Structure 1
Amino acid sequence: MKKIIYSLVVFAISLLSMSTHAQTAMSLGVNDTRNISEPPRDYGEREVKADLKFLTTSGISTAYGFTTNLTISPGFNGTAGYISQLSFNNNGVFYRNGDYFSSSWNGWNKILMSDLSGNVNLENLKVNDLFEFGSELDNTYSTFIIQGPNSPTGEAGKRDIIFNFKYAGQSGIRAFRGDEWGTFLQLMTSQPGDVTGTARVRMHIDQYGKIGIGTVNPFYDLDVNGTISSQNLLTTGSIGIGTINTDGYKLAVNGIIRAKEIKVESGWADFVFKEDYKLPSLKEVETYINENGTLPGVPNESEVKANGINLAETNALLLQKIEELTLYIIQQEKRMENIEAETLLSKEIFP
């Protein structure tokens, strides 16, 4: 940008030196026309002119102050191009142009300039189409920094990147520092029907990396205030539903579970039918029931209330009792057959 400015100045001085009367111009005077607003059509053919103006007269600012305008009119009844004007003041360097016959100028544009290190200081930047940043070269690194304040803390010192869609609302990224040493990041969108079009916070990431969806105060690594739908859920920790205390279990539910099918992979009770299994006598079972109020191996009511039951162990235990009951029935069946045979034999001997 500096090269452009220098080129325009050199061009203006060159025009002065090329006088048709072969006169030598050693300097360019500045006219004091601070209160006069001159449209492009007021400038002559092949003219270079410097004028002192009020900022308000030039239309650069409404504040009090001065600026110096350098105007270049290439002439030839406008066929050589627009009349160009540079304006130099304490706020920077500005540029505008206008048609040779026009009664008004096009708008001012501030010229961007870099320091000796190549850094450009931007206050307001408007890009209508494409903004490219960084390099495509291998092994290069680019950083885009938006500076933020140390105070105030919280959203009062926020820094936003907003995507504005006409008639549809906004999306954005927001960053700010917290009350402690740390920073926050938020993602924002507008919902349909929101007449304000203002983006609302949808996701919040705090200074510890905790993510909140639907909440800006995440308590867990992922804290969701709403409904989650997932085809697959993989976790290496524990899940609590209706409770935050899983008590060492992989899944802890404080409520009612409804399911079409539950598959349990555990041991089974087929050992009852093996030859070395010692089946308690019915007398032993009766004695145990009288003393404990329950079947052998089955927890009583107070134990279940205190500790709950293990679904797999309970099903296996119930199967064990059914298998034992089956053996008792078989024993009774054999005993009945023996009694019937003895009765029949007695009738034959003693008719």
Structure 2
Amino acid sequence: MQINGLITIAMAGFAAIAAAQPHKHHLHLRHAAMPRDALNDYSTTVDQPAGPTGSPREDKVHSTERFEFAATKSSAPVASKTPEAEAQGKRKAVSSGSGMDRDFPDGKISCTEFPSEYGAIKTDWITKTGWSSIQKDGGNDDHIGVCTDGALCSYACPAGYSKAQWPEVQPASGESMGGLECKNGKLYKTNSSFNKLCRAGKGTARVSSKLDQHVAICRTDYPGSENMVVPLSCTPGSTQELTVPEASNSYVWQGKPSSAQYYVNNAGISLEDGCQWGTPDGGLGNWSPVVIGAGYSDGKTWLSISQNNLNSDPLNYNIRIVAEDGSKISAECSYENGKFSNGDPVGCTVAVDNGGSARFELY
């Protein structure tokens, strides 16, 4: 697969959301001080290291802000187009999650049992048992679909929450690993500093829809396979919590805390089609037109909208970032008729004042 260069935006110590790349796409915060006019400072670097033995791997793209892409495609087929009627009929009811406040009991639950009672939500269009990814022996066992001894079994969390389990020691290759570990047929936590499976975000951003069609918004499963499979279902007229990871307790990649990336599909696409690996001609999943991002660092919430550089087609609706409850945002940031409010073809980023909140409005 041919991959374009990575373009990153930096602003006041925050590495903002970049144009979406295929498959692995996540944001790491940078804390070095930068001038305010760095908002439009773009840089491009490309690197393509080899993948782990036995793991089919896409080209990996790096930048100084550490957006990183790699690993195995989902084996599930993706339709090139999904009519609205079919999307409405196929759309699964995604659990809001239960038991987020329950400590996970090491060695008590079988690897064959998905831990729904501890906050995790199933993505059973990815694996037959609901895991969002299964990593084993340096490869990806999503196609097998069951959690077996020696595997890291990852899971999605409800809107507003992030996965809290990942090994402290990560591969030197830079590949991210996350989830529960299966040992002797039982599940074990991998993050000893946190006893629960899901951790609440900052709670400072939402997504609201004024559309009359369903929208599938798909977060990358990170750390883990980094497939865009963590679902956020935006039904017509609804407002959904967007997870805003806090830098102080987010996953850290080589010293850099991370934020959240969401692939935004065209309206009318089901979660099953939109929240997985896409195909070059399909415009879905990692090939969806737009990516939005969110993170919290240095006392501010940072939000952005960016064009996926794999897909120059416009979305079939518009997006704008709107301040809530008297909050202030640093600049206008909107995407209308395929164009960004700042006139840049890549995207725009804003900071929300300390203690404030904002929403991505779909219209």
- For the superposition of Structure 1 and Structure 2, which TM-score range results when normalised by the shorter chain? under 0.3
Query: If each structure's helix is expressed as a fraction of its own residues, which one has the higher value?
Result: 1
Report which of the two structures shows the higher radius of gyration computed on alpha carbons: 1
Structure 2 length normalisation: TM-score? 0.21
Structure 1 length normalisation: TM-score? 0.21
Q: Taking CA–CA contacts closer than 8 Å with sequence separation of 6 or more, which of the two structures ends up with the larger relative contact order?
A: 2
Query: If each structure's strand is expressed as a fraction of its own residues, which one has the higher value?
Result: 2
